[in-house]
Amino acid sequence: MEQAEHRVGAPPEPGAYDLVVVANRLAVDRVTDPDGTSSWHRSPGGLVTALAPIMASQEGAWVGWGGVAEEALDPFTHDGMHLVPVELSEHELTEYYEGFSNSTLWPLYHDVIARPEFHRQWWDTYLTVNVRFARAAAATAAPNATVWVQDYQLHLVPRLLRRLRPDVRIGYFHHIPFPPVDIYAQLPWRRSLLEGLLGADLIGFQRRSDVANFSGAVRRLLGGSFRSGTLNVNDGHGGERPVRAEAFPISIDVGTITALARDPEVQARSRQIREELGDPHTILLGVDRLDYTKGIRHRIKAYAELLEDGSLDVEEVCLVQVASPSRENVESYQELRDDIELAVGRVNGTYDTMGQTAIRYLHHSYPVEEMVALYLAADVMLVTALRDGMNLVAKEYVAARGGRGGQGGVLVLSEFAGASDQLRKALLINPHDIDGMKDAILEAVAMDPREASQRMKSMHRQVLTHDVNKWSRDFLGRLAGGDQGMDDAGPEASR
């Protein structure tokens, strides 16, 4: 970290905001209106939904990139939230975001499902951008403020920020998996990233296994041992300070999903979807970003084999696969799209009839209202991720179905998704085991409605009592020195 700390420069003057969130993107998206003018709208993601009310009550600010390269924006306020844009060049987006973040760290942290690339120039740009984010946060935070850094694009920010502003309280949350040490150790800059995270006072992960992997990496590569979740590190002033690492499973805005599931217009749309699909007896649904970690190819293979061996009949069952566009400038994602579209074409060419389509493949993003309608239309939700920090789609399906009084619907869920720790009444699968996945799909299709309803009600209780607002309160409370943390949201939940 010596090079990074040399670059960080002199501390800026403190800002005026008591709570500062630092993320790769701002909490707003630019939307072009019908008349050609553009405006800012609050991002629909759960993180923004959870933090916006807290930030409004605590003089909060959000630091992040505005979404357009080479665009210099002044800080502005939107919907009660102060926004501090960080400028990124085209070159920086290519090397910091598409390169080091998504072609080095992302595949490495997802168990090397795709091969990570290690390029020194990407690392240098990642370092430069992290310094810029740290300085923006330091200039925004009031004396003794709380700063909450989000995710793997900003690994170095906690330590850089601590060097600039030792007075602030720093939290970091890691939204994706943290790999076992034997995988993590491949990274040439492994020590620097660990040291970057240890600049925080509290480091949050999705799963206890992620905490264990991180602790193991610190022990092996830095020689420090976490005891009861705490590691004492040098405070830079001749003393020590504690760093805690804990699991805080993220969740969803349950209220919004439940309300939409009860909306007569959304319910009518769900019925229309079934009619448009030919009113099959069973609808299987997959909803994913187009990403190699999601197990979409494995899912299609299992479904195709069930059609081939006659266990499922295309006249009675349809698979709807929503694959929203993702990282379309990255070569491995372009190849994945081609592979999936070829696989869908082969299945449909083999099994389609004049009246029925085996797989309805939708390479689009949809508004939340349409997604909830799809959840209500689907009898079986397939979440077959090969590795996933959490997978909020699984929780959204439970919120939509359970919010109707637990009227059924079956969740088939990968044990390698963080959501499997909480949603234990799902049918848990190993997505690499195609035969096991086939058995689970058949069990889901044939499940007694009463059993399906009971399972869904149990999972809905878990999601309802552990929503995204509880997640943010627990993390910030723990960061402030309270006792909040992961309670019954762990592996025994919803049993």
Print the SS3 string covering 56-122: HHCCEEEEEECCCCCCCCCCEEECCEEEEEECCCHHHHHHHHHHHHHHHHHHHHCCCCCCCCCCHHH
Out of 253, 291, 379, 388, the active site residue is 388
Out of 175, 313, 363, 439, the active site residue is 175
Q: List per-residue pLDDT tens for the chain, 495 residues long.
A: 556 666 788 999 999 999 999 999 999 988 877 787 888 988 877 788 778 888 877 879 999 999 999 999 999 998 888 999 999 999 999 999 999 999 999 999 999 999 999 999 999 999 999 999 999 999 999 999 999 999 999 999 999 999 999 999 999 999 999 999 999 999 999 999 999 999 999 999 999 999 999 999 999 999 999 999 999 998 888 889 999 999 999 999 999 999 999 999 999 999 999 999 999 999 999 999 999 999 999 999 999 999 999 999 999 999 999 999 887 777 778 889 999 999 999 999 999 999 999 999 999 989 999 999 999 999 999 999 999 999 999 999 999 998 655 568 999 999 999 999 999 999 999 999 999 999 999 999 999 999 999 999 999 999 999 999 999 999 999 999 866 544 544 444 444
* Whole-structure pTM value: 0.93
What is d(CA 159, CA 102) in angstroms, rounded to the nearest whole number? Answer: 22
Residue 350 C-beta-side C-alpha neighbours within 13 Å = 14
The amino acid at residue 182 is: D
The set of residues, in sequence order, having a beta carbon less than 8 Å from that of 248 and lying 6+ positions away, is 173, 204, 205, 206, 471, 474, 475, 478, 485, 486
Contacts 24+ apart (CB under 8 A), 68-72: 68/30, 69/93
Respond yes or no: is residue 175 known to be catalytic: yes
- What's the DSSP call for residue 388? B
What is d(CA 92, CA 103) in angstroms, rounded to the nearest whole number? Answer: 14
Nearest to 252 by CA among 90, 403, 354, 449: 403
User: Are residues 400 and 261 in contact, defined by beta-carbon separation less than 8 angstroms?
Assistant: yes
Respond yes or no: is residue 388 known to be catalytic: yes
CA-based R_g, the chain, Å: 23
From the centroid of its chain, how far is CA 53?
A: 21
Look at the block and give the residue holding tokens 């627990």.
474
CA angle 292, 293, 294 (to 5 degrees): 95
